[in-house]
Structure formats: structure tokens, C-alpha cells
């Protein structure tokens, strides 16, 4: 004998007419003696008949002839009321389909398996999006504070008379990416106020990026002068300022990239290298150079063949270009400017050997019709 259901089973949730229900198959069950026999029904029709009958609590689709009753093709048996006359036995082949009011456990399980991971993914994605949004918002706010400080710093200049200086700001992150985090392999020069790197910004634009030395009072003054002057001056023989950045202690200037670098490399060749080696500044720089950059330094400073590129027509073209740039600074621009540090290393050459005056850190602006100005320190070369 199997399980004994003679005392009946208690439902956890009562059946309600008109409410959704489902059927749970119970295999090898003895059918109760009192049943309603519905003729000429298929299995699906038998299920529907029980579903539509509010009193139906179970049904069985079985072969009556095997139980000794009169054979009938429909074999649909419906039960109403409580099931108290049944049991489970191994020698029975019939299934009893019990009607329950709650949703199928299996379907609920599948639903949970789908809904829970989906909701977890949505929640994680929402948290990530909120985090990214807050990070970018704080970054924009911080960047805006730096830009505001920059504008306030520039507007305090007496030389420009409170006029608006219009130039683009570039984020420090973009500059760091463009220079491979200021890698030595990207360095193309150095000066008294910092180092110069080659980089590629958005749009595949090659640029030269001057990174001013941290904590240098002269560097800050140069930074201000460069922006005030170059942003206001437009001439083919002056180097173009493309943007700038101030981020914490970092101050950077972005110029057009000039592939032929400075004039002194063409004029002096190996002599320039020997002169600089005797100076403490270059000796200190060489001590910090890696093996990968030694050849690059020797090429820049010691290429004696460069001076032969400057035939007399090219030299005359450079002289005229520098003269035109100086004439513009002294007379033709609306600001009268004295460079005060004009030397071959501050004359840059583009791919066509057109000269461009650079490095306005020491420059002075003469306001109005002034012809003279006082200086408190010795500067220039």
C-alpha cells in the first residue's frame, strides 16, 4: 500500500469561482468512487470542463474499461467536493489532476529566475550610470572652477585693460593622453620655464605642449604673458597659441607644432651641443635621459648637416620673416610689444622654413602712446 489519503487534505488557499486556477498532476492515484462522468471529451476539453465548473476540484482522464466499468471513448471524470476517498498505489496507472487556486510553483520559480537577475542587472547598471554622471558632473564643476580661476587671473592684467581674452581651454586629461602621460619619448625641447612635448589632440592635430615648471614664479608670469600676448596677436611670423590648461599646480600652453624646431639647431649644429654640455642645466638634463633618448638628443643638438640646409635664399627668407614679425610687434599691432628675449632658439621654423617668433614670457606691453617703460629686473639674452 502507498500513501493513505482517507483523512483528506487541507488546502492552503481556497478555490474561488472566477479566479485563475491550475491543475497539478498526481500520478498513480486511486480515483474517488463518486465522480461525474462527462461523455465524448478529449483531454483538453476535460480540463476546460473542470475549469469552467466552480464546484470541480479535480479530474481524471482515464479508461473506464480497465477498472471494470462500461467502456466509453471520452474517459473524462470530474469530482466535486473534497477528495476523501483516494490514495496513491504503485499498481495504479491513472493520473489525478488536482485543482489549485495559487499560481503554478514551477512557473513562479521560472519567473523568479528571470526577474531577480534582470532586476539585479538593472540596479547595477543604474548605479553605474549614476556614478558616471556624478563623476563627470564633479569633473565639469572642478574644471569649471579652474577655468573660472584662469579667467579671473587673466582679467586682472592691467596690460589688456580688462578686455576679453578668447581662447580654448583643454582638459589636463586630454593633454596627458596626447603626450602619453608626459613621456620622455614625447619631449622635443626644454627651457627655463619647463619642458615642451609633442602630442596629438582630437582631430589628429599635431601640437607642441609647453609644461611650465611647478612652483616657478617666473613660470606663472610667463604663462600669463604668453596667453595675453599670443591670444591677441595674429601674424604669420608669430607662433599660434591653440589653447591652454590650468589644473591644480599644472599650467600648460598648447601651440601649433613646427616640425623644423628652432633656428639655432640649423645655425650652430654640434657647436650648440658642446656649448650646452658645459652648462649645468644640460648636464643635469642628460643625467636624467634614458638610453632610448640619447640618439634623439644628439640628433637635435648635434646634427651638423642642418646648417648646410640654410642656403642664402633660405637665410634671407628667415631674416625677412623675423623682421616682419618684429615690425608687427613694434608698430603694426594695436598693442606695442617689446619681446626682450629674441634669440635663435626662440625662432621656430615650420615645414616650409617660415620663421615664427615664440616665447613671449619676458615681453613687455606699452600702453597707449608710451615710448618708454621701467623694469625692476634684468631679463633677456
Asked if 85 is an active-site residue, the reply is: no
Question: Binding site for ATP: which residues?
Answer: 210
What are the distances in angstroms from CA 108 to CA 11, 50, 101, 103, 123? 19, 23, 14, 7, 22
Helices marked H in the chain — which ranges?
43-52, 105-155, 172-178, 217-232, 264-268, 270-277, 280-287, 291-302, 306-309, 312-327
How many CA atoms lie within 13 Å of 355's alpha carbon, on the beta-carbon side?
A: 24
Distance (Å, whole) CA 278 – CA 299: 18
The x, y and z cell numbers of residue 175, run together, are: 593633454
**Grid coordinates in use for 82?**
473534497
Catalytic residue among 94, 264, 341, 359: 341
Q: Please state the three-class secondary structure of 24-89 as a single string.
A: EEEECEECCCCCEEECCCCHHHHHHHHHHCCCEEEEEECCHHHHCCCCCCCCEEEEECCCCCCEEC
CB 272 within 8 A of CB 301: yes
Residues forming the active site: 341
Amino acid at each position: 500500500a502507498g500513501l493513505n489519503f482517507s483523512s483528506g487534505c487541507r488546502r492552503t488557499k481556497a478555490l474561488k469561482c472566477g479566479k485563475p486556477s491550475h491543475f497539478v498532476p498526481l500520478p498513480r492515484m486511486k480515483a474517488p468512487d463518486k465522480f461525474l462522468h462527462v461523455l465524448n471529451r478529449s483531454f483538453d476539453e476535460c480540463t476546460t470542463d473542470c475549469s469552467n465548473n466552480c464546484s470541480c476540484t479535480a479530474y481524471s482522464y482515464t479508461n473506464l474499461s480497465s477498472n471494470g466499468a462500461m467502456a466509453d471513448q471520452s474517459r473524462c471524470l470530474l469530482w466535486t467536493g473534497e477528495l476523501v476517498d483516494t490514495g496513491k498505489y504503485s499498481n495504479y496507472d491513472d493520473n489525478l489532476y488536482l485543482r489549485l487556486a495559487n499560481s503554478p510553483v514551477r512557473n513562479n520559480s521560472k519567473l523568479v529566475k528571470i526577474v531577480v537577475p534582470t532586476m539585479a542587472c538593472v540596479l547595477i547598471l543604474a548605479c553605474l550610470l549614476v556614478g558616471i554622471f556624478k563623476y563627470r558632473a564633479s569633473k565639469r564643476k572642478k574644471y569649471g572652477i579652474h577655468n573660472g580661476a584662469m579667467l579671473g587671473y587673466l582679467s586682472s592684467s592691467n596690460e589688456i585693460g580688462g578686455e576679453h581674452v578668447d581662447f580654448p581651454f583643454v582638459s589636463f586629461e586630454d593633454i596627458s593622453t596626447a603626450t602619453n602621460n608626459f613621456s620622455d619619448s614625447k619631449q622635443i625641447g626644454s627651457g627655463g620655464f619647463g619642458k615642451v612635448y609633442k602630442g596629438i589632440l582630437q582631430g589628429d592635430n599635431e601640437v607642441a605642449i609647453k609644461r611650465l615648471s611647478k612652483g616657478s614664479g617666473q613660470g606663472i608670469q610667463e604663462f600669463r604673458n604668453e596667453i595675453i600676448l599670443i591670444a591677441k596677436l595674429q601674424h604669420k611670423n608669430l607662433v599660434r597659441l591653440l589653447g591652454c590648461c590650468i589644473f591644480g599646480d599644472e599650467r600648460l600652453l598648447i601651440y601649433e607644432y613646427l616640425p623644423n624646431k628652432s633656428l639655432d639647431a640649423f645655425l650652430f649644429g654640434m657647436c650648440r651641443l658642446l656649448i650646452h654640455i658645459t652648462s649645468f642645466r644640460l648636464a643635469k638634463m642628460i643625467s636624467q635621459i634614458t638610453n632610448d633618448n640619447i640618439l634623439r638628443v644628439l640628433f637635435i643638438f648635434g646634427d651638423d648637416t642642418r646648417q648646410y640646409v640654410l642656403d642664402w635664399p633660405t637665410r634671407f627668407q628667415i631674416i625677412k620673416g623675423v623682421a616682419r614679425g618684429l615690425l608687427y610687434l613694434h608698430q603694426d599691432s594695436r598693442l606695442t610689444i617689446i619681446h626682450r628675449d629674441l634669440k635663435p632658439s626662440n625662432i621656430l621654423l615650420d615645414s616650409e622654413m617660415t620663421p615664427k617668433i615664440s616665447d613671449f614670457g619676458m615681453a613687455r606691453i606699452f600702453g597707449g602712446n608710451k615710448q618708454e617703460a621701467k623694469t625692476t629686473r634684468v631679463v633677456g639674452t
